[in-house]
Amino acid sequence: MFRILAIVCCAAWLAACSPTFDWRPVAFGQGGAAGVLPDTPQTQARPVTFEDRTLTLTMRSARAGGMLFALGSADLPPEWADDAAARRRLARWAVDALYRNVGAAPPGPETDPEQRVSFEGRGPQGPVRVEAQIKVTATEWLEAVVIAGPDDYARAPVDDFWLSLRWPGGAAGTAVPGSAPQ
């Protein structure tokens, strides 16, 4: 009896240790942005309309452990290189869209739209936690997003994703203050 119990416990322990998160380096955008995704990325492009312009947002995403990790990019019109106000409006609009997509109230106008945000909302399967960061450069719109149910989020090595991020110009991602890598 003890032998069977020991075998069952060992099998359960080994199953729990299986690598759900097989991090892979991924470049996104044209300006040198990079990060990691926890599995082979899927790539999808879709048109996004902002201020009478259609931008093509390309998302590279992977699911693991009940979570969705995504890295996205869209080229900007050349004339926006000299229009900081248009780029700032795009960053604000992109952040607000993330909130609206899960039925959450967007942050106020005093919030920096390029600061990493974390909020709760509701997805098709129930409550979700979203963590995201938008960067808009002179030439592209970039975003990094993690979406998961609260329980999945609490068990996952999300900090690995954020610490791997490299934005154009060499800016690194950061973990949530006070958290430790898992």
Q: Give the helix, strand, coil percentages of the chain, each rounded to 5.
A: 30, 40, 30
Model confidence band, residue 66 (pLDDT cutoffs 50, 70, 90): confident
pTM: 0.82
- Residue 152, phi then psi, degrees to nearest 5: -60, -40
The 10s digit of each residue's pLDDT in 12-48 is 333 344 447 899 999 999 989 999 999 999 999 999 9
E strands within 10-78? 24-28, 33-37, 42-50, 53-64, 67-75
**3-state DSSP call for residue 103?**
coil
Determine the Cα–Cα distance for residues 180 and 130; give it in Å rounded to an integer. Answer: 19
8 A C-beta contact, residue 91 and residue 85: no
